[in-house]
């Protein structure tokens, strides 16, 4: 437990030394919402699409859940895998594997420490990000408040969990920090596309929206949107996120390599 506590504190210090991490975790949702709401034309105008459920909303309203989903993805697919790639590239993981502890236990300890550090960082950073984003949004942009806050919170937590699990899979196989960044970006843009970065879920064609509901992050964005603007529980999307977590975590543990 002493070694685990020491590693956790060390990982926390390394995490906080990167200014890019602080920016994307804390400021990214706020900056994104402000740029969309104040710079992009038409975002403050009522939606003209013939969809009764969103007829009273504006474009900027639909982008709030998308902004939170993008914040989760930015942390999960860049910071965490890149750190593991750096450790593997510099031989840190190889040297750790030669310690007296059995390799299997050390692997579990390292994954637990990094996932715990990431969970703490994401929880703290995104709680602040949510507070900042929504405070600024409501003050400046007059964003619509969520109709079912509990659903939004559950969807946000499940979204963070299954995206962190995807980050664990990347961290398990990337040989260098550069590879981690490349693969992270390769996944990042398709995922945020299906999450609604270019077209929020309620405005997507039906076929595209159905596909997005079964994909990582797409399910999270749809579930948060349902909690924000709807009156039901998005059971399918919540179950999809749980299943992604249950699949990705054991696969990441199975394919993990020290070097």
For 15-61, the pLDDT digits (tens) are 667 766 666 666 666 677 677 666 666 666 666 665 656 666 676 77
Cβ neighbours for 61, distance < 8 A, ≥ 6 positions apart: 143, 144, 229
For residue 101, the model assigns a pLDDT of 55
Q: Residues 132, 26: contact at Cβ < 8 Å?
A: yes
For residue 103, the model assigns a pLDDT of 47
Instruction: Report how far apart, in Å, the C-alpha atoms of 14 and of each of 23, 44, 179 are.
Output: 15, 41, 20
- For 244, the enclosing helix (H) or strand (E) is helix 235-255
Q: Is the pTM of this model over 0.85?
A: no
Angle at 155 between CA 151 and CA 159, to 5 degrees: 175
For residue 178, the model assigns a pLDDT of 87
How would you write the pLDDT of the chain (259 residues) with one tens digit per residue?
Answer: 666 666 666 666 666 677 666 666 666 666 776 776 666 666 666 666 656 566 666 767 777 788 788 878 877 787 778 877 887 888 877 777 676 654 445 555 555 655 555 555 445 444 544 555 556 665 665 666 777 888 888 998 898 888 888 988 888 888 888 888 889 889 988 998 888 877 776 677 888 888 988 998 889 988 988 888 877 788 999 999 999 999 998 888 888 777 6
Q: Residues 36, 60: contact at Cβ < 8 Å?
A: yes
φ, ψ for residue 58, nearest 5 deg? -115, 170
Cα–Cα distance measured from residue 77 to residue 168, given in angstroms and rounded to the nearest whole number = 9
For residue 125, the model assigns a pLDDT of 44
């Amino acid at each position: 437990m002493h070694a685990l506590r020491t590693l956790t504190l060390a990982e926390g210090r390394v995490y906080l030394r990167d200014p890019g991490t602080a920016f994307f975790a804390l400021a990214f949702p706020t900056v994104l919402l402000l740029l969309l709401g104040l710079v992009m034309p038409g975002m403050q105008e009522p939606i003209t699409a013939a969809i009764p459920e969103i007829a009273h909303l504006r474009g900027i309203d639909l982008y709030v859940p998308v902004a939170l989903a993008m914040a989760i993805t930015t942390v999960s697919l860049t910071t965490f895998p890149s750190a593991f790639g750096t450790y593997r590239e510099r031989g840190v993981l190889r040297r750790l594997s030669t310690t007296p502890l059995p390799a299997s236990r050390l692997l579990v300890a390292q994954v637990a420490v990094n996932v715990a550090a990431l969970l703490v960082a994401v929880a703290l950073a995104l709680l602040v990000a949510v507070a900042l984003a929504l405070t600024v949004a409501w003050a400046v942009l007059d964003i619509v408040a969520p109709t079912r806050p509990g659903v939004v919170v559950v969807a946000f937590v499940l979204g963070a969990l299954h995206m962190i699990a995807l980050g664990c899979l990347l961290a398990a196989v990337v040989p260098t920090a550069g590879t981690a960044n490349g693969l992270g970006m390769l996944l990042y843009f398709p995922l945020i596309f299906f999450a609604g970065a270019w077209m929020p879920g309620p405005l997507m064609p039906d076929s595209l929206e159905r596909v997005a509901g079964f994909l990582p992050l797409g399910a999270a964005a749809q579930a948060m949107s349902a909690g924000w603007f709807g009156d039901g529980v998005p059971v399918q999307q919540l179950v999809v996120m749980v299943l992604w977590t249950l699949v990705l975590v054991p696969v990441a543990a199975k394919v993990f390599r020290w070097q």
